[in-house]
Amino acid sequence: MNMESHSKMPVTTFVAMLFALAFASSLCNASIESVNVDVNFSDGVFVSCNSESNGLTNQGSGNVHVTVPVGQRVICRASWNGSSALFDGYDPQYDQGHAFVYWEVRQDGLYHSWDDKNFVKKGVWKIPAIVEN
């Protein structure tokens, strides 16, 4: 057997492999164009979120959803029972590369996640100082 005949690849196989590599490469270079921020909270909690692009307050009953272009910061404020908390719903540096950012606002604090399953406590309620006269 001629070794040369085994080393040649049919043109159709080569073209198919080239197409597959080009497609896979384009998937690796795909970029996220917008970020979805979901904030879930319990009864009695008020949450509002603002971003540069919409310039308005997004608020809801139990859930706030904001979609912004990548790189735009989302600032949220939560208030509950006389206490408040200010937090970055989306921080372009910290949340970079994540198309979804999830928050849970609970009575014991604020929790952050990128997969809506594993939440990490990132904030606590600030109780206003009592001013005595």
**Can you tell me whether residue 21 is helix, strand or coil?**
helix
Per-residue pLDDT of 110-124, as tens digits, reads 999 999 999 999 998
- Residue type present at position 28: C
Q: Which CATH number fits domain 34-123: 1.10.1060, 3.40.50, 2.60.40, 2.60.120?
A: 2.60.40
Per-domain residue ranges of the chain = 34-123
Q: Encoding tokens for residue 111? A: 């929790």
Per-residue pLDDT of 27-42, as tens digits, reads 333 455 777 888 887 7
First to last CA, the chain: 102
Per-residue pLDDT of 47-104, as tens digits, reads 888 887 765 565 666 788 888 888 889 998 888 888 888 999 999 999 999 999 999 9
